[in-house]
Structure 1
Amino acid sequence: MTPPLFPAQTLWRWTFPLACLGLALEVALTCTNLPLFEVLHRIFSFLPPLLWTHWTALGDSALVPLILFPWWRRRPDLLWAALLASLLAFLFSHGLKHWIDAPRPPAILTVTVIGPRLLHGSFPSGHTTAIFTLIALLIHGLPLRAPGMRWTLILAGLAVGASRIALGVHWPLDVLVGAAGGWLCALAGLAWARRWTWGTTQGRWLPLLMLVMLAAFALFRGSGGLPGVFWSEKAFALAMLILGWRAGRHAPPPPAKTPD
């Protein structure tokens, strides 16, 4: 029997980021970034602002990694890959932001902004990059086999990207490139972690320490300017800490590797 030209796993790995980059190229070449933003922003305005602020909070780089807390003891390899992927995602997002320094919608248009009125550093969307780094890590790192769970995560990530347009602080092009970049950073982080396993042996404490520090930051930081999410963010961080603590108590440690 002839094997398929493109195995299902390969299609799941590359179709989404290539589709996002293809759409981004189409938007850029047709100069539809601004009119598409206006249409989407107008449509999204029919939903309550509190919905969009909570969706956008899910892309907060201080909150997104906390979702990995329940796996800290059972899957140190996943947390190590997440740490490496997060480093790549940070360099990708903030490197392009400072290099390109694209104006945000409020700097060009008269637009209703929910939350802080940001004017610069638009490209790419950091929130979208962060959430899709996590989503690709879960899909390919756990890995998630059920298509329903995969599509649920992807739709949740797209809702985070849509929230950046709804809040009036990002263009569609920012969201598309951020989604593709986050996904590719996750794949690179997984590949890097397989080659450099220090964070799953001698350095396995480092990813956990980073999660604890992020949780403490999320619990004790002040308001970020997004209306209605202050206590929700605290509750989320506390819930992830509790889940991580319970998982650490009840999950058996990974089997020790025997020397060759």
Structure 2
Amino acid sequence: MERAETKKISAVIFDWAGTTVDYGCMAPLEAFIQSFRKEGIHVTDEEVRGPMGMKKKDHIRALLELESVRLQWTEKFGKLPEESDVDQLYASFEPMLMAVLPNYTEVIPGAIELVDSLRLKGMKIGSTTGYTLDMMKVVTAEAEKQGYKPDYWIASDEVPAGRPAPYMCYRNALELQVFPMDTCVKIGDTVSDIQEGINAGAWSVGVICGGSEFGLTERQTQELGEEELRTRMAAVRSRFERAGAHFTVDAIAELETVIEEINQRLARGEHPQACGVLRSEA
């Protein structure tokens, strides 16, 4: 009798902004702030980053559910926000984001080298995003010029529901022809990324530096004092762990070490649905 082949990771599904491009996930931030400001509503950076990674209309809906926003909206308009207000906010948000997107597509350091190494080890490269198809046409074209091109990508408006729903991950599995889902790793920089991976039955990994939860540009990160850097990273790590991330890494380049550990766990018959938080870089 032939021995069954040992199960191992066959695909990695990356997020885009804040994970592989746009260090700090800066492109959507100002567009959200400005679109709400246009209506006379103030939202903070922290509030905007809370739902980051979601489909952009869903992101606006989430912001409109915030108590601070609902209070401002009621005071200004005499009523709570409605779905028509979501449409109006999105109508101003989308052109704002499209205008700045080309300036926020620089590939995050270490991403291309990581992807090249994973491919050499036989892994396929997929991706999901909170961006729409039109937005992704801009991002993917600019990223490809720099040498980053996943084997497959899909936008949030090409599936019935965006994150935290698992549909984009399922489409990746279908198009990349990988199965079962516990041979896939989903990595991203937001809580919705973590939830997407978990809901898909994949191993879910959170990346701290460069991400939206961390919320700083590369230069700002480099200028942090050691103690403040550790404190900020610990706060993000804690949020990822509460969201159920199986692993958390400080930087994207550390993913290969995590995959080695996952392969060991798969060889022992473990699977992500039965695992809680396993390891975090400290």
Length-normalised TM-score, structure 2: 0.25
More strand by share: 2
Tell me: higher relative CO, structure 1 or 2? Use CA pairs within 8 A at least 6 residues apart: 1
More helix, by proportion: 1
